[in-house]
């Protein structure tokens, strides 16, 4: 696989789905290393994105795991995962994040090739402590969206500038995206990456996260059957 060994800044101008105007976006590859895991022998990359926008510069970090040959056809499987400390580390059942991450790692391992892009933005961009505040509001009867609105956040702050730029940097113009969210397909295509196929990524509906999954399906347009 062709890779840039030295950190290399890139300047990309593209339309951001979030603000709908051209933004000045710089991608910097900080590191690349071998990464053996229970699921297979990955490579791990560290990336930093700088988005210059009217309010100032926003920094975003992400990790990309690649397995096997991701450059040849057909397009490789890709999962874009948003950091979830409570799910990923503590195996929380308030959400399906870890279950979906494990499904993605298993499917990539089964195909022998593919990528996981892991974005370091907790709670869909609102931050860890605000996510915990939202849990408190949910314990008092609000759903995920209402809780974020009560805290003054939009229901989903993610954009796909950074994953899109990472894929193009790695030389991957098309992917098979593991997601139940049609907005992710659109956002990634707006970020310049073609989505050849959307592959469902459906976790078992454990009783304690049933309400969360129902909110995703009914109010956020995610595509899976009733839970
Ligand atoms: Zn989660």
Backbone angles phi, psi at 163, to 5 degrees: -60, -40
Q: How many angstroms separate the alpha carbon of residue 122 from the centre of ligand 1?
A: 9
Instruction: Please list the residues that pair with 65 across neighbouring strands.
Output: 44, 116
Q: Please give the pLDDT value at position 206.
A: 66
Segment 68-89 mean pLDDT: 96
* Mean pLDDT for the chain overall: 83
* Alpha-helical segments (H) within 76-179: 97-111, 128-139, 144-150, 161-170
Q: Scanning the structure block, which residue is given the tokens 């109010």?
A: 219
Q: How many angstroms separate the alpha carbon of residue 119 from the centre of ligand 1?
A: 13
Q: Which of 98, 124, 158, 209 is catalytic?
A: 158
Which residue ranges make up each domain of the chain?
A: 68-121+158-220
Q: How many angstroms separate the alpha carbon of residue 173 from the centre of ligand 1?
A: 28
Residue 212 CA, distance from chain mean position:
18
Q: CB–CB of 195/189 below 8 Å?
A: yes
Annotation marks residue 156 as catalytic: yes
Annotation marks residue 209 as catalytic: no
Query: How do residues 119-168 score in pLDDT, each as one tens digit?
Result: 998 876 788 998 899 899 999 998 878 887 888 776 555 678 899 999 99
Q: Scanning the structure block, which residue is given the tokens 């098979």?
A: 176
Fold of 68-121+158-220: Rossmann fold (3.40.50)
Q: How many angstroms separate the alpha carbon of residue 52 from the centre of ligand 1?
A: 28
Q: Which residue has the higher pLDDT, 125 or 40?
A: 40
* 3-class secondary structure, 130: helix
Q: How many angstroms separate the alpha carbon of residue 7 from the centre of ligand 1?
A: 31
Q: How many angstroms separate the alpha carbon of residue 170 from the centre of ligand 1?
A: 27
Query: How do residues 9-38 score in pLDDT, each as one tens digit?
Result: 444 444 434 434 456 889 999 999 999 999
Q: CB–CB of 157/144 below 8 Å?
A: no
Q: Please give the pLDDT value at position 71.
A: 96
Query: How do residues 155-165 score in pLDDT, each as one tens digit?
Result: 555 678 899 99
Confidence of residue 202 (pLDDT cuts 50, 70, 90): confident
Residues that place a CB less than 5 A from ion ligand 1 = 84, 87, 95, 97
Q: Which of 15, 133, 156, 217 is catalytic?
A: 156
Confidence of residue 112 (pLDDT cuts 50, 70, 90): very high
Confidence of residue 63 (pLDDT cuts 50, 70, 90): very high
Backbone angles phi, psi at 180, to 5 degrees: -100, 5
Q: Scanning the structure block, which residue is given the tokens 């948003």?
A: 82
């Amino acid at each position: 696989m062709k890779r840039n060994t030295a950190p290399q800044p890139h300047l990309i101008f593209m339309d951001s789905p979030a603000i709908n105007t051209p933004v000045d976006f710089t991608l910097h590859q900080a590191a690349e290393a071998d990464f053996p895991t229970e699921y297979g022998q990955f490579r791990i990359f560290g990336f930093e994105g700088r988005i210059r926008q009217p309010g100032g510069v926003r920094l975003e970090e992400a990790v990309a795991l690649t397995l096997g040959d991701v450059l040849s056809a057909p397009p490789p499987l890709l999962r874009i995962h948003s950091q979830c400390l409570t799910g990923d580390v503590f195996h929380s059942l308030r959400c399906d994040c870890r279950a979906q991450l494990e499904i993605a790692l298993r499917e990539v391992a089964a195909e022998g090739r593919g990528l996981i892009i892991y974005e370091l933005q907790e709670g869909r961009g609102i931050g860890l402590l605000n996510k915990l505040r939202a849990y408190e509001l949910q314990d008092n009867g609000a759903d995920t969206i209402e809780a974020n609105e009560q805290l003054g956040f939009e229901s989903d702050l993610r954009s796909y500038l950074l994953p899109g730029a990472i894929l193009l940097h790695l030389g991957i113009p098309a992917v098979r995206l593991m997601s139940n969210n049609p907005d992710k397909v659109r956002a990634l295509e707006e970020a310049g990456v073609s989505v050849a196929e959307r592959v469902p990524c459906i976790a078992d509906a454990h009783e304690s996260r049933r309400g969360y999954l129902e909110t995703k399906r009914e109010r956020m347009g995610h595509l899976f059957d009733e839970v």
